[in-house]
Amino acid sequence: MSASESLRPQPRPEIMAIEAYVPGKSGVSGLAKVHKLSSNESPLGPSPRAIEAFRASADQLALYPDGSARLLREAIGRRYGLDAEQIICGNGSDELIALLAHVFLRPGDEGLYSQYGFLEYPIAIRAAGAIPVMAKETRETADVDALLGKVSARTKIVYLANPNNPTGTYLPFSEVKRLHAGLPGDTLLVLDAAYAEYVARNDYAAGIELVATSDNVVMTRTFSKIHGLAYLRIGWAYAPAAIIAALNRVRGPFNVNGAAIAAGVAAIGDSAHVDAAAAHNARWLPWLTQQISALGIAVTPSVGNFLLLRFGQENGRTAADADRFLNARGFVLRAVGAYGLPDCLRLTVGTEEANEGVVAALAEFVKDGRRGG
């Protein structure tokens, strides 16, 4: 390092070791109409009541919002039968995932996550100065034995996305409880249930019961997926009071903006809209799975609002080839090489038009991908 460089502010080295999170692509240059199927957004959009509440908030732009997002916490509490004092809202659940790492990890501690777990986890762990530890998955599904096998005296946080992004797989509640039972009492288990509302399996639970009966479990949720409010950035967590108290000390004093609070309250009150979004997904997820599998593309069985598709390795048939081919036809999927899945693309369940269109385009790709690209 030269003398002049040493006089510059130096980020902590562990920060510079982080590969920045790259969100799904939004568009394709030169194409007017694009179906964005890369970020697991809701094809139905938000509740009309949420849009109205957002518009009405335009009259208040000069004012600071309620820093504790009380109305939103109370609305969430009513919806799920939870004490609003045990809820914290965030600027997206991303913010809460990061805050949990900052609050519970010291330099040298370990944060554990599973192989294809959401990429924010190792980022949050590293940013807190701790060491990310990854446990292998089995059939693209978190493996409780592998996770427990990686727990050491230094493990202070375990992140589990259930269902997981980008695989769409899930752990039954019995397995989540087995994971929790195997953790030391001073290790925090974060159950990230961003896609919980889509899951139609009677052995699944988002984690409310486990939070309510333990001192070391937090459940995070989001308004970005089934509520169709990704733009406004609203997440929340349900946690023991002691954990909420710690998080409240370090969050930004007005971390959730007023328009988000108003729209979130309206959205969570519109259960018919949530039901419609779940029904749309329940119709199209199996249809896409069946149609795409029939084309000879391997599809990981998903309980979320997206599917992981696996392509071949032959020149002209790879995931990168499919990505280019689909982009040229106005379909934007998510490349997941950063997750260690270079042969895969992730496809969000879209509108009827998008779903039918992407299947037709994939059929064309399978038929003559090399020439059509």
For ligand PLP, the binding residues (CB under 6 A) are 40, 92-94, 118, 161, 165, 192, 194, 222, 224, 230, 235
What's the helix, strand, coil split of the chain in %, to 5?
45, 15, 40
DSSP 8-state secondary structure symbol assigned to residue 185: T
**Rounded to 5 degrees, what are φ and ψ at 94?**
-50, -45
- Of 97 and 362, which CB lies nearer to ligand PLP in the complex structure? 97
Residue whose Cβ sits closest to ligand PLP: 92
Q: Considering Cα of 46, then 210, then 124, then 339, what sign does the dihedral take?
A: negative
Per the omega criterion (within 30 degrees of 0), is the bond before 43 cis?
no
Query: Concatenated DSSP letters for 70-96?
Result: HHHHHHHHHHHT--GGGEEEESSHHHH
- Of 109 and 192, which CB lies nearer to ligand PLP in the complex structure? 192
Residue with tokens 């990704």: 230
Residue whose C-alpha is closest to residue 279's, from 178, 348, 200: 200
Tell me how crowded residue 197 is: count the other CB atoms within 10 A of its CB.
20
Find the shortest distance in angstroms from Cβ 192 to ligand PLP.
5
Q: Using an 8 Å Cβ cutoff, are 295 and 362 in contact?
A: yes
Find the shortest distance in angstroms from Cβ 279 to ligand PLP.
21
- Beta-strand relationship, 217-222 and 188-192: parallel
Find the shortest distance in angstroms from Cβ 165 to ligand PLP.
3
- Of 168 and 369, which CB lies nearer to ligand PLP in the complex structure? 168
Find the shortest distance in angstroms from Cβ 313 to ligand PLP.
27
- Of 40 and 289, which CB lies nearer to ligand PLP in the complex structure? 40
Find the shortest distance in angstroms from Cβ 5 to ligand PLP.
35
Tell me how crowded residue 176 is: count the other CB atoms within 10 A of its CB.
24
Per the omega criterion (within 30 degrees of 0), is the bond before 122 cis?
no
Residue with tokens 């689909």: 326
Find the shortest distance in angstroms from Cβ 207 to ligand PLP.
13
- Of 196 and 362, which CB lies nearer to ligand PLP in the complex structure? 196
Find the shortest distance in angstroms from Cβ 316 to ligand PLP.
31
Token digits of residue 77 = 């509490």
- Of 18 and 363, which CB lies nearer to ligand PLP in the complex structure? 18
- Of 104 and 325, which CB lies nearer to ligand PLP in the complex structure? 104
